[in-house]
Amino acid sequence: MAARTLQLSVVLAFALGAWPVPANEPGRIFRAACVKVDITPDTPQWLHGYGPRKSSGVHDRIYHRIVAMDDGTRQFFLVSTDVCTVSPSYHDAFCQELMRMTGIRPEQIWWSATHTHAAPHLGPQDLGQLFAKTLGDRFSMEHDVAHWNWVKKVLIEGIVEAQSRLEPARLGIGTGESRANINRRGANAEGKIVLGENPDGPVDRQIGLIRLERLDGSLIGLVANYAIHGTVLGGRNTLISGDVPGIIAEYVERKVGAPMLLINGAEGNVAPVYSVRADFASSHMDEFEALLGDKILAANDSIQRTTDAVVFSQGETVIETPRRAELGWLKELADYAKKDPDGTELVCVPVRFLAINHDTVIWAAPLELFSEIALNVRNSSPFPNTFYFGLTGGSLLYMPTRKAFSEGGYEPNVSVFTPQAEEDFTTGVIRSLQSLERR
């Protein structure tokens, strides 16, 4: 089946301003700001990612981290939140509320979850309801709507604050590599795929980095992109924590004196090298400071050039691919499904793009994507730097490879997709990148 790609609003870039405006045009000033907002709950909350368990205390505090950027013609906001996931319906309702209150349009904000399994989830259990037989009572916990509303309220306040603090800035791009992650699809003696450690399996170890600095060179903030499940701590832990994404963000922040967003990559089949530990004493968490934190710092140090000549181009596409019809669907996710004329039930996956000048592109989707798919996109991208932001705009759960579907295991069993998804998705994303590069 051929990939189905629906272009929206002539790829949105034209709604926000044309791409080929010279970056050094008089009057164009690049501005940036970075804000950190504490969202640590002061009451016990259900922790997500494993079986139901309520928090019994706080190990380390959790945050919204927000970057605001303005290239002189358009503003753009990145948010990294220390939660397990955000429901697509909750994300979409938030964007509409943000627009009513501030005028900031949905395409101007990318909201990503770090995927820590030691923090709450936001929003109703949309897709979890489809996998009750597979996951048992994992999504049986009560909703704390008051907590959700407070997290949403302070996020809106943080975005407004970041917008108000925009100041003249320079931007730099860097990359690095870290071996803090490992493929998690192991095989037992009978050949059955289990969640474990597979040193020979594919994994994306690239660190992508955006540096934002003032005109005097002092740091405004960093945006680091790396693929790693927030599962250093296992299901017996009941302490609130950012797990490895949040703890490493704080480590880097102490070193550089400014906020850092750690935005997850294609972590669908990727675990931390130390995983599902019972508690902090056995977690080896401090080793990630060297394994990942110091590698991010090295990537920052490697950035030799920053520029105040910055031009953004944004795009969005919807990639349609068959879904597992036997699962059914939910009315809350009606915008993410349709039916082909031939009766094929489809999932509609929104994919967003942000090109920075002509050398860097970030693409994002509400998925726990397998590393191989992101690596294949990067290898075919026309941009020298290509970063994938996962779990952005909510979560439609796992998108495994065709090979993984044939092997079985946990992720294919909790996927709404079919083996056709890898081909449809990869083809659609690459075509969109090529179209964006030509503008």
Q: Is residue 104 part of a domain?
A: no
Q: Which residue has the higher pLDDT, 6 or 260?
A: 260
Residue 125 pLDDT grade (very low, low, confident, very high; cuts 50, 70, 90) = confident
Which range, of 127-136, 181-190, 242-251, 309-318, averages the lowest pLDDT? 127-136
Identify whether the C-beta of residue 345 lies closer than 8 Å to the C-beta of residue 130.
no
pLDDT tops 50 at residue 300: yes
Q: Dihedrals φ, ψ of 338, to 5°?
A: -160, 175
Count the domains in the chain: 1
**How confident is the prediction for the chain on average, in pLDDT?**
92
Residue 27 pLDDT grade (very low, low, confident, very high; cuts 50, 70, 90) = low
Specify which residues 175 forms β-bridges with.
208
Q: Is the dihedral of CA 239, 148, 389, 79 positive or negative?
A: negative
By CB neighbour count within 10 A (0-12 exposed, 13-18 middle, 19+ buried), where does 339 fall? exposed
How high is the pLDDT of residue 139?
67
Q: Is residue 411 part of a domain?
A: yes
pLDDT tops 80 at residue 7: no
Q: Is residue 353 part of a domain?
A: yes
Q: Is residue 429 part of a domain?
A: yes
Q: Is residue 200 part of a domain?
A: no
Q: Is residue 210 part of a domain?
A: no
Identify whether the C-beta of residue 356 lies closer than 8 Å to the C-beta of residue 173.
yes
Residues 317 and 190: their CA atoms lie apart, in Å, by 42
Residues 241 and 81: their CA atoms lie apart, in Å, by 12
pLDDT, tens digit (0-9, with 9 covering 90-100), for 242-268: 999 999 999 999 999 999 999 999 999
Quickly count: other Cβ atoms within 10 Å of residue 105's Cβ. Answer: 15
Q: What's the pTM?
A: 0.93
- Calculate the CA dihedral of residues 93, 97, 100, 104 and round it to 10 degrees: -90
* Residue range 189-216: mean pLDDT, rounded: 96
Residue 25 pLDDT grade (very low, low, confident, very high; cuts 50, 70, 90) = low
- Helices 421-438 and 371-380 pack at an angle, to 10 degrees, of 30
pLDDT tops 80 at residue 138: no
How high is the pLDDT of residue 12?
35
Closest alpha carbon to 365 in 384, 346, 352: 352
AA identity, residue 412: P
Q: Is residue 337 part of a domain?
A: yes
Q: Is residue 206 part of a domain?
A: no
pLDDT tops 50 at residue 24: no
Instruction: Name the residue range of residue 399's domain.
Output: 4-21+311-438
The token duo for 271 is 């675990």
* Residue range 134-163: mean pLDDT, rounded: 88
pLDDT tops 70 at residue 23: no
pLDDT tops 90 at residue 28: no
* Residue range 392-417: mean pLDDT, rounded: 97
* Residue range 16-25: mean pLDDT, rounded: 37
Closest alpha carbon to 347 in 327, 372, 361, 363: 327
